[in-house]
Amino acid sequence: MNFITMLEQISSGMLNTILIFFLTLIFSLPLGWIIAFGRMSKNKILSSITGFIISVLRGTPLMLQLMVVFYGPYFLFKLPITNWRFPAIIVGFSINYAAYFAEIYRSGISAIPVGQYEAAHILGFNKVQTFFKIILPQVVRIILPAVTNEVITLVKDTSLAFTLSYMEMFTITKQIASTQTTLMPFAIAGLFYYIFNLLVSFIMRKLEKKLNYY
């Protein structure tokens, strides 16, 4: 197999890798807010349950979570999982990263001085207005570096989709490397991850500079 053919085959998996990346962000970023609010709730039961869920998701391997999400419907309810592979990957990645984002959001909200809330109350803002007009813009600026780190990690973690035999880039790379007995596919895959992360880092740095008004 020549280099061009090898690159074409790996490129087909790149699209699936990119799709996993973007769909995970689309679902995990807003889900993280829901979990964060549950974790910060004054309801002790809700806060405790949410805290336990976060602890489990952060304390167990993503690979294990993917396998549980994929095989769970069959073992628990005897449901067919023929067409469940890709949705299971997105669900597994999304809930895992939502747990990490939730803790990042919570730390950002906690970093806002209480005086901000009191000042907003004096100015006549209700709780919703206070959060979206005063608190949220500051929280976003505070948490952006931590979110950037998680997004970069996500780029690399997409390779774990091979656990469920999904034909993303790393799965195809392993197959080519084993059949052709060469390290070239790994070099191509490594270059893709590196360039993808450079692009993500560039975009996030631009966003940080835009929000850094101090």
pLDDT digits (tens, 9 = 90+) for 125-143: 888 888 888 888 888 888 9
Q: How far apart are CA 201 and CA 92, in angstroms?
A: 24
Q: What is the pLDDT, as a whole number, of residue 48?
A: 95
Residue 166 lies in a domain: no
Tell me the mean pLDDT in the region 35-45: 93
Write out the residue range of the structural domain in which residue 129 sits: 19-159+188-211
Residue 1 lies in a domain: no
> Is the pLDDT confidence value at 213 over 60?
no
The total domain count for the chain is 1
From 62, 9, 25, 29, select the one nearest 192 (Cα to Cα). Answer: 9
Domain of 37: which CATH number? 1.10.3720.10
Residue 35 lies in a domain: yes
Residue 97 lies in a domain: yes
When pLDDT is cut at 50, 70 and 90, the band that residue 197 belongs to is very high
Residue 13 lies in a domain: no
Number of Cβ within a 10 Å radius of residue 105: 27
The secondary structure of residue 73, as a DSSP letter, is H
Q: How far apart are CA 71 and CA 84, in angstroms?
A: 9
End-to-end CA distance of the chain: 55
Percent of the chain beyond pLDDT 90?
Answer: 52
Q: 142: which 2 tokens?
A: 């505070």
Quick one: CA torsion of 135, 139, 141, 145, rounded to 10 degrees?
Answer: 180
Residue 120 lies in a domain: yes
Residue 150 lies in a domain: yes
Residue 174 lies in a domain: no
Residue position matching structure tokens 């906690």: 110
- Cβ-contact 24, 100 below 8 angstroms: no
